Structure 1
Amino acid sequence: MPHIDYYFATISPYTYLAGGGLEEIAAKHGATITYKPVDIMGLFARSGGTSPKDRHPNRQRYRAQDLVRSAKKLGVDFNLKPAHWPTNMAPSSYAIIAAQSSGGGDLAALVQGVLRACWVEEKDIAQDDVIKDCLTAAGFDPGLADSGLLMGAETYARNLDEAIDAGAFGAPFYVVDGKEGFWGRDRLEDLDLHLAGKI
């Protein structure tokens, strides 16, 4: 059974636009998923990347155009300049880590709920009440937002180290069986073909 380590950031627009594509592909091929939220700014810094605000204006302009076009192509709501971006990714990441450990809810729905809160609903995903609402909506105990802080912090830091070791440099980033990496929403088709043994 193949396994996918899913490195993502809760403030990443491309992670939001990826939607449930990973879960659909995993279900199709009987693959398991470990969700590994990472500090995307730390990942950029350690892998030679640059945060969006520090990129050349040409790159910033293209990114803005590409995000809007992608959202339209996918038929999803999207706010290019949400009110609370960037924000502290750690609290929402800790909650996702705690939810994955505890079980009992829909982890994919939680991840998408957090991303939607940021990119569509104009909510600050660093705020406790927003995180608890996302946990509740996905079938988890909202108390996980408070109880999983220490484990969340340790795992969050370890996820960044593991992302670097796995070859990740952006989000979303998918690694199959610790070897084959796929970067970006637009590589989900390649991930599907790889799991089918075609590439």
Structure 2
Amino acid sequence: MAARIDYIFTPVSPWAYLGAPQFNAMVAKYGADVKVMPVDLGKVFSVSGGLPLAKRPPQRQAYRLMELKRWRDFRGLPLNLQPKGFPVDAGLASRLITATRELSQKQALDLSFAIGRAVWAEERNIADAETLEEILNECGLDPARLFAAADSDAVKAAYDADTQKAMDIQVFGAPTYILDGEMFWGQDRLDFLERAVAKAG
């Protein structure tokens, strides 16, 4: 029986972007059953003690930049430490991912990575509908269909429900991976997650 993983994140998280290639490769290797769950991280922070980047103390902001550089170099992914257009509202991008998972979880994973790359490597404005349309086309997806779905009551309700679930199960940051009720927070815990997936399989 394939392992079941809830992948809880926001597509504008640099850590989700940095971890996506390893996570996606692991999912393919083990045939894991993934539910792609973008959430409103601001709401999660509001009940978990997290702070938006601009409100964090200077020493935490400085160390975050150091860690991003380390992980960028280790992962071998292009990443601008302070990209223009960040922070940015990820609501529409998240709902497009939620709509895409109804077609295919793999396509939703691929779109999530493409949106992260757009922010962190390409410095594109993913709050802009035209930019998102370009990204959907680049991923071989149908923008008209997905924009209509993203604006539907069903997808909005699903996005809100996923955010509420994240809060209910005490998620406090992104990315978070849930395997059989066990939480793995952060892309630096993917090795632990993979060992657990291998054991479960």
**Matched letter for residue 89 of structure 1:** A
2:110 counterpart residue number: 109
Deviations 1:89-128 (A, max 9, x none): 1010111111111349722221111111111111110111
2:156 counterpart residue number: 153
Deviations 1:6-40 (A, max 9, x none): 00101111111112211221222221101000111
Distance 2:104 2:5 in 1: 18
**Matched letter for residue 11 of structure 2:** T
Q: Report the RMSD for the aligned CA atoms in angstroms.
A: 1.7
Unaligned 5+ runs, structure 1 = none
Runs of 4+ in 1 over 6 A off after TM superposition: none
Secondary structure at 2:74 match in 1? helix
**Matched letter for residue 188 of structure 2:** D
Q: Paired residues, what number? A: 197
Match of 2:171 among 168, 171, 177: 168
Unaligned 5+ runs, structure 2 = none
2:190 counterpart residue number: 188
How high is the TM-score relative to the length of structure 2?
Answer: 0.92
Distance 1:152 1:118 in 2: 23
Q: 1:166, CA displacement in angstroms?
A: 2.5
**Matched letter for residue 140 of structure 1:** L
**Retained in 1: the 8 A contact 2:101–2:107?**
no
Distance 2:32 2:168 in 1: 21
Task: Specify whether residues 84 and 181 from structure 1 end up closer, same or farther in structure 2 by C-alpha distance, changes over 3 A only.
Answer: same
**Retained in 1: the 8 A contact 2:35–2:105?**
no
2:53 counterpart residue number: 52
Matched, 1:141 2:126: no
1:11 counterpart residue number: 12
**Matched letter for residue 61 of structure 2:** Q
**Matched letter for residue 174 of structure 1:** Y
**Retained in 2: the 8 A contact 1:4–1:31?**
yes
Report % sequence identity. Answer: 34
- Using the TM superposition, name which of 102-111 and 30-39 deviates more: 102-111
Alignment of 1:5-44 (within 5 A): 5-44=6-45
Deviations 1:68-109 (A, max 9, x none): 111011111111111111111101011111111134972222
- Using the TM superposition, name which of 151-160 and 63-72 deviates more: 151-160
Task: Specify whether residues 18 and 105 from structure 1 end up closer, same or farther in structure 2 by C-alpha distance, changes over 3 A only.
Answer: closer
How high is the TM-score relative to the length of structure 1?
Answer: 0.93
